[in-house]
Amino acid sequence: MFEDLIALFAQRPTIKFTLERDLLRVLPHTSDEYEAVIRQARTGEYTVWLDSWHEEFEEYPPARDCFLFGLSDRCRIKVFKKASFRFRWVLEYRNGAEWIEDSSTMLLFYPFWRKTTFQYLTNNSLND
């Protein structure tokens, strides 16, 4: 499983990754980067996580493409916080010089009364 991704990463020694039974994890290099994970469920479906943003796929090719996109400089995650509590993750993609919001993941319960801040996370492992 994930042989094509492992072969790609083998050509790039700066990419730190771990392979477990049903998932492949690319580790961040700095605190401004996110962990990227692709996992195959027992049902044969796939989930991709970029930090806590996630998307489910029925087939491997689109899941792999999303995972690789998340490792490029064309993708970033906008993380919203209430104090230090992270509650929303928005995937953004670059279109020329502009960043476009695509989709988001959000917790239902969070300290809504606190001031909201955000930060951008990337994982440009494929651009090293």
Residue ranges of domains in the chain: 3-70, 75-121
97-117: average pLDDT:
90
Reported as half-sphere exposure (CB side, CA atoms, 13 A), residue 82 has a value of 10
Measured distance CA(125)–CA(50) in Å, rounded: 13
2-28: average pLDDT:
93
Model pLDDT, residue 20? 93
Nearest Cα neighbor of 53 from 8, 111, 97, 93 is 93
pLDDT > 80? residue 127: no
Question: What is the per-residue pLDDT across 74-93, written as a single tens digit (0 to 9) for each?
Answer: 999 999 999 889 999 999 99
pLDDT > 70? residue 22: yes
pLDDT > 70? residue 66: yes
**Dihedral sign, Cα of residue 94, residue 75, residue 31, residue 82:** positive
